Chain A
């Protein structure tokens, strides 16, 4: 009984430590993120951004590269994808989170992927 309680306790600890920034993303998370970023009906980031091995990319936004160096704070990156208009009211980048184009979970997978660029 006591042993079980300890396990539960440990598990809770592990879970709370899993606040997005700490836990390394799995390959599956990264693959899913790339799929969401590239797909026309989801992120469609390629419409505007050159990134990775994306084909027929647009030229409206800057190339997405060196994300780790440029965004040491994951929260900042998350907020920009969630709603870039908060940073630049005139931007044409869609507010993916605020307008429910992507869910929180989906944005997190895209960010897992962005950090590999």
Chain B
């Protein structure tokens, strides 16, 4: 077969393997449209303020919140997280050995898409993979030690802009699209999508709760909630929001929740890391 014909066949083949559902998927266009959407909804809120969720939208709540920032309730957990982070495993190595730049100042790059494994790697998943690679047992994903370690790592990245990348790989695009689909699909007996509350109704009250916008939503995690009385991870919050609409939550770090985090954090690209933080 002539070389040109062969090349053409290869090109056709490559085009064919891209699933048709991915045609027209454009994360950067989505992100820009979302920024525009929320800017129009809240013209007085500076873009970077969106990382403060409900506190960006309501002066009274914000004042209350700020008055409590002198003694943040997560301080002790962050110190514990630091200690665990620096304490060597049984084999003598530390967490630093598993991460770029020794794990300091890297929160803004998570989650990322691993092109070898073809899956989304969140910070909490990477922490447990590091443990297992060094012969340690994995930690539980929603609270406790993992939240403390993740909070410490976030604190070393304070203010760095999120920089979530979607590599030129159909599997990465598919993961993004899967997360987006999760965010916009109605679930549960009460028939809500994440977007029903956090895209359509941010700034409104649902009973005594003030709804935060999708933009900036993951940047303050892990979070200390007064309702929890402790730190919790983003996936703990996902599960809570699913349960509230009577949808069966998925396991923390399931593919669905990791893809969801990938989509949601991508939307916040350019906004600063502010975790850990506090919420009601």
The answer to whether A and B touch in the complex, with CB atoms under 8 Å apart, is yes
A interface, CB within 8 angstroms of B: 44, 46-48, 56-60, 85, 90, 92, 94-95, 99-101
Question: How many residues of chain B have a CB within 8 Å of chain A?
Answer: 13
Residue of B189, B191, B206, B208 near A48 (CB, 8 A) is B206
- B205 and A99: CB pair below 8 A? no
- The SS class assigned to the A binding surface is loop
Given A60-B201, A92-B200, A99 and B207 contact (CB-CB distance below 8 Å): no
Known pairs A92-B200, A99-B189; list 13 more (Cβ under 8 Å): A44-B207, A46-B207, A47-B206, A57-B205, A57-B207, A58-B205, A59-B204, A60-B201, A60-B205, A92-B192, A94-B192, A95-B191, A99-B190
B99 vs chain A, min Cβ distance (A):
41
A89 vs chain B, min Cβ distance (A):
10
- A56 and B207: CB pair below 8 A? yes
Among B201-219, those with CB < 8 Å from A are 201, 204-208
- B205 and A59: CB pair below 8 A? yes
Check B197 for interface membership: any CB of A closer than 8 A. Answer: yes
A101 vs chain B, min Cβ distance (A):
6
A92 to B204, CA, bound (A): 13
Residue of B189, B200, B204 near A101 (CB, 8 A) is B189
- The SS class assigned to the B binding surface is loop
Residue of A44, A60, A85 near B204 (CB, 8 A) is A60
A95 to B205, CA, bound (A): 20
Check B185 for interface membership: any CB of A closer than 8 A. Answer: no
Closest to A40 in B: B207
